[in-house]
Chain A
Amino acid sequence: MLGYLIIDFNEWVSYKLEISFWLLNTLIGAITYAYLGSNVALQNQEYMAQYGSFLSFLLVGMSFNYLIYASLEAPRMAINPWNLEWNLTLPTSLYEVIIGSVFFRYLVGLLQFTLYLSIASAFGVTYAIDTASTIVTIILGAAVMWGFGMISAGVQVITKRWDPVTWFFTMLGGLLSGVWFPYQLLPPSLQNLSKVMPQTYILEMLRRAMLRSESIPSLWESLYPLMITAFIILSIGSFIYSKSIKYSKKYGTTGEF
């Protein structure tokens, strides 16, 4: 028994950065749920009326979070150390490998997204969907997050386990970007952080498209900055991703965990 405890502990502490962020994750998770449970404004029907209800607001946020997670995770999964060497030995370009590897995870993410909304619909949640603006927002949102996913994967090729990008978007994003409640209800200092997160805008646009049936022209003011952001983040992600592969080939760490 003691042997298992010691060996597990030793392996755990070998990933020092991960431990620090495990502690931080626990703290932020606890704060998010405490805030969600105690904030009276969330129960305020008038405030939530613009999104239909708190439940519909919450469902769009939670279901889209699966797609965000898939976008962030997929590039990293495609180059995990168990497969990286083999993927690099195949006669296909790195981008074919990435796109091929992420495709299925996107389908699963979309399935989860649809299932969440369908089941909620069975429980009486109503939507006012503009199909075109919803699809465009989802595609652009996925593209932005995929860009961050590539940055995350690139970092992880080097650090091997912990990467700050996924952590920032999954853990802090849950609290700050309006997944669970409108970011406007956060203290002003935290709202400034919300405003620099692309998720905040993606979620807000998606809710407007799905819960208020807003069309593309109506969303245009938010859509075009998102298009530019998608282009920039995808370019940066692609650059960092290929650089990190070059790094691992140079330093011989392709197969390391």
Chain B
Amino acid sequence: MIIADTSLTEYAIELNGVRKAYEKKGLKKRLVNALTLRGFVGEKTTALDEASLKVRRGEVFGLLGPNGAGKTTMIKVLTTILTPDSGTAIVDGFNVVTESLKVRERIGVLYEDSERGFGWRLSTWTNLMFYAREYMVDNPRKRVEEVLKIVELEGEDAFKWFQKLSKGMKQKAALARALIPDAQVLFLDEPQRSLDILFVLRLKQLIKEKFGKPGRTIFLSTHDMHLIEETCDRIAVIDKGRIVKVGTVEELKSLFKSMKTSSYTLEVAHDQIRGLNRLAEEILHVDGVEEAKPLDLTKLKVGVTRDKPDAVNQILKTALEHGYHVTALTEEEISLEESIAKILRGEVT
């Protein structure tokens, strides 16, 4: 077996054509199929479909996608909990299937169902001490104190039974557990879940600072666009098990520049007599305008084709000619959320 020299690999995480499908029917159905000579197989749902991506060392990498897109499956494959059906997954230079123990020595994990693995009738302190010993950290007591300080779960709360903690505190305890091994690669699945606003702000800062270890790679899966936008160096969009886009936040947003139309908001002074319907009708006659509809009493949304750059001037001219007092004309900024939604709807290629 060739053991990879981790210092030579550029990437902390590599997925090459990873495929993972789940049986729709349970064991009983498969047994029946086997006994009736139809084979020990059933209908399958594809969770990862030839998924490939590379995450550079020291990167904060975000994974976005709708429910059931394959995000959690990908994290479980990378953290050695699930065996891929085909393809290879490498973490910190080691294969997740053939060198799973070495992978586990190098990762910290926060799963979505983060409350599992904790003794509910034990304190967070006792739980974390167990994990610190299992991860064989040099000074378990010191490490537990450090991580509890990072997640702001010090004092009395650390010594309460786990079951007595609020949801948010339980999430902090789970985050602390992920930090215990001070791992080179950290997997965070919905880390902001149940956390209060103030701690989410702190979490963003902590992620940006890689939890005090600059070379650490963070693989972040979440639905929280703000968390992704503010912390991630790059993002992958996953849908139906396939990686459909990879890039920086700006790169994903800029995909809209290649779209056929751009949206503008035209703001005018309130005209009690005519309203905006008349203006909308007039603007629709401008060459290059595809859509014009009032948003309220003073705002009009206008869709303009990108290949008619003069259309914007014509819109302004039309409004002025009809006696409207224009106060602003602004191009709509596309949010990351809209970008992702459009990518998922296939509106951007």
B-contacting residues of A (Cβ < 8 Å)?
Answer: 82-83, 85-93, 158-159, 246, 249-252, 254-255
Contacts and interface: CB of A to CB of B under 8 A. Distances in A.
23 contacts: A83-B117, A85-B117, A86-B116, A86-B117, A87-B117, A88-B80, A88-B81, A89-B79, A89-B81, A89-B107, A89-B117, A90-B104, A90-B135, A91-B104, A91-B136, A92-B134, A93-B101, A249-B81, A250-B83, A252-B47, A252-B73, A252-B76, A254-B81
Contacts of B76: 252
B27 A83 contact: no
Nearest to B21: A252
B73 A85 contact: no
Nearest to A88: B81
Given A91-B135, A251-B22, A83 B116 contact: yes
B104 A255 contact: no
B23 interface: yes
Contacts of A93: 101
B111 interface: yes
Given A89-B109, A246-B83, A251-B22, A159 B27 contact: yes
Which of A83, A90, A252 is the most central at the interface, judged by chain B CB atoms within 10 Å of its CB?
A: A252
B113 interface: yes
Contacts, number: 53
Nearest to B115: A82
Interface in B94-134: 101, 104-105, 107, 109, 111, 113, 116-117, 131, 134
Contacts of B82: 249-250, 252, 254
Interface string B185-199: 000000000000000
B69 to A, nearest CB: 15
Given A85-B111, A89-B109, A249 B83 contact: yes
B22 A255 contact: no
A82 B117 contact: yes
Given A82-B116, A246-B83, 9 more contacts: A89-B79, A90-B135, A91-B104, A92-B134, A158-B27, A249-B82, A251-B23, A252-B20, A252-B22
By Cβ-Cβ distance, the 6 closest A-B pairs, closest first, are A86-B117, A91-B105, A91-B104, A249-B83, A90-B134, A250-B83
